[in-house]
Amino acid sequence: MARNKYPEVTINRILDTAMKLFMSKGYEHTTIQDIIDGLGDLSKGAIYHHFKSKEEIMDAVNKRLAEQGIADIKTIAHERSLSGLDKLCKMLVFSIQSAQHEALDQTVPPFLRNPQLLALHMRDTMGSAADLLTGVIEEGIRDGSIHTAQPRQLAQMILLFFNVWFNPWMYSWTPNELKDIISFARNVFEEIGVPIVTEEVLQSIGELHSLSQK
């Protein structure tokens, strides 16, 4: 058999197909054979040439998702006209609005209801996204818009608040519960000198939760 001249194309096809199956059937109920059938023109050997197991495919799917999310907000980090705090707020609004689009496309709920996929997604996000946010926070410290002595830990806390506590597919908060949680988070961030829960962020969170109920 001739050597594949474009292995990255094959890898992306495998990941695209696996992602669709993981979301539609669930990770546990998806087999390597299902992925082969979904691809149509690759053998089991061809898949195992790139991935040793279904677990390795799932890991690659999550890493790619995390990388795509980071790529989308990196452009904000490079906007020279914004302070570190302004960049942080803009990144949060962009991320929430991206989740809104995914909710409308009905791609997020089945993904987040899968425990294995969710755990890996959170692991990869806490790594790559924390690195990016830490850099922005350090920039904010230098320009005086952010006040903290622990930028890395602040970045991780922001991710936990927004990716877990505010996540409507992890917690089905009532409107009153959500209001109290956001109020608490707003006070916490203001007290530590990082007022990131702006009116625009509040509105975006509310809209996301409304979409999650449909």
CATH of residue 32: 1.10.10
What is the distance between the terminal CA atoms of the chain, rounded to a whole angstrom? 50
pLDDT, tens digit, 9 for 90 and up, residues 35-58: 999 999 889 999 999 999 998 998
| Residue in the block written with tokens 């002595």 | 149
Nearest CA to 192 among 136, 149, 138?
149
Can you list the alpha helix ranges (DSSP code H) found in the chain? 7-25, 32-39, 44-50, 54-77, 84-105, 108-112, 115-143, 151-160, 175-191, 199-212
Residue 29 has pLDDT above 80, yes or no: yes
**Is 46 in the same domain as 132?**
no
C-alpha distance from residue 167 to each of 9, 94, 106, 108, 205 (Å): 33, 15, 15, 11, 9
| Domain, as residue range, for 110 | 82-211
Check whether residue 46 and residue 86 sit in a common domain: no
In a domain, 37, yes or no: yes
Residue 107 burial by Cβ neighbours in a 10 Å radius (0-12, 13-18, 19+): middle
- Measured CA to CA, the distance from residue 92 to residue 10 in angstroms comes to 33
Query: Average of pLDDT values for 104-131?
Result: 67
Domain membership of residue 164 (yes or no) is yes
- Please say whether the beta carbons of 136 and 87 come within 8 A: yes
Tell me: do 27 and 123 sit in the same domain.
no
Same domain, 93 and 144: yes
Position 89 scores a pLDDT of 94
- Does residue 198 share a domain with residue 99? yes
Whether residues 188 and 124 share a domain: the answer is yes
Comparing CA positions, the residue from 164, 175, 94 lying closest to residue 136 is 94
Both 160 and 103 in one domain: the answer is yes
Asked, for residue 147, whether it belongs to a domain, the answer is yes
Contacts of 110 by beta carbon, 8 Å cutoff, 6+ apart:
23, 24, 26
| Least confident interval from 102-111, 119-128, 140-149, 198-207 | 102-111
Average pLDDT of the chain is 85
For residue 189, give the nearest of 89, 110, 108, 116 by alpha carbon: 89
Q: Are 16 and 121 within one domain?
A: no
Helix axes 199-212, 175-191, angle to 10 degrees: 150
Per-residue pLDDT tens digits for 148-178? 999 999 999 999 898 888 887 777 788 899 8
Alpha-carbon gap, residue 94 to 46, rounded angstroms:
38
How far apart CA 27 and CA 143 sit, in angstroms, is 45
- Residue 68 binned pLDDT confidence (cut-offs 50, 70, 90): confident
Domain count across the chain: 2
* CA 205 to chain CA centroid, nearest Å: 15
